[in-house]
Amino acid sequence: MREIERPRAKTISELMEEIRRQKGAKEYSGHEYFDLNRFAEDTRHMVIFDVLSEDSPVGWKGERTRAYLTEAGYKNVLASQEKGHIRILSHARVNQGRLAYDSPDSLR
Spans of all domains in the chain:
25-96
74, 75, 81, 82: CA torsion to nearest 10: 170
R_g over Cα of the chain: 17
* pTM score, whole prediction: 0.80
- In the chain, pLDDT over 70 holds for what percent of residues? 94
Digit-coded pLDDT (tens) for 50-85: 999 998 888 899 999 999 999 999 999 999 999 999
Work out the pLDDT band at 2, boundaries 50, 70, 90. low
Ordered alpha helix ranges (H), the chain: 12-22, 71-82
Digit-coded pLDDT (tens) for 16-29: 778 877 776 777 89
